[in-house]
Structure 1
Amino acid sequence: MDRKMTGGGRVDTGDVEPAKGNAKPKAILTTHGFELFINDAEEFSGNLQFNDHRNGDVFHATSIDQILFTNDPSLDSGNPGSSFNTARVSGAGRLNGVDGVRFTAVITDNGEPGKTDTFEITFPDGENPGISGVLEGGNHQAH
């Protein structure tokens, strides 16, 4: 059975952009989008993009080394139901035009409409601070 997880969203960095004029201060967010697939032969493919609005970094995965779909019983992926609710992904990509940057990501689907879904991305060599948190907006969907 083919499996996939798709989605995207925003995660709050905890940083705040200073107020301009009479406007209120704005939270600085990261944004991401992805499509991850595993077919019946256990071959995987996909894409992942991460934009860090703290520093303007743009990351796009160019190769996926591993996708592992697992089920965390403490989460509920909601309807439609799925046999998994968590994706663990690793590979390499392009960060601000520089190829070969390694990454790992953990993505969860914790029901609808996505308010408790989570996204975590790390860069083991320290090229970007990464992010980990609950979505401020968006949705992840395990299929």
Structure 2
Amino acid sequence: MRTIDLSPLHRFAVGFDHMQRQLDTLSRLDETTQSYPPYNIEARSENDYRISLAVAGFDAGDLDVTVKESTLVVSGRQDHPEAEVKYLHRGIAGRTFERRFELADHIKVVAADLANGLLHIDLKREVPEEMKPRKIEITAKPGGNVQKSIENKAA
């Protein structure tokens, strides 16, 4: 397995340990276990997103949506007794699954709903006011002294 060492960047920047953890997580993904259920990710506006997962055969009680730190975890487990059903053909997968999504900073899960076999999870980017860009005005005083004032600018 190949690892990426970002330690030389620590001399110039702060917070890249989080990026290294995400790269390590991505390198461990096995595509065969990550193919079910299929999903879409939509950008509905500049700050609104939607993840839609195809979960045919699952009820709302069979699904679990959890956010821990910056990871969204969607899991499903059907507790229906398999012994009672005799299939002539089984083409609808009802297997247990767990799907993980790494969320960027300031992304919040605002809603989840199940309709027509699709689980929709709505996300919103909410940047705190102190993190938004702000303009710093520079004024010059006679004699070479410089005075700076800070002004918040709503994005």
Of Structure 1 and Structure 2, the greater helix share is in 2
TM over 0.5: no
The structure whose Rg is larger is: 2
For the aligned pair, the TM-score class normalised by the smaller chain equals under 0.3
* Structure with greater contact order relative to length (CA < 8 Å, sep ≥ 6): 1
Q: Comparing both structures, which one devotes a greater share of its residues to strand?
A: 1
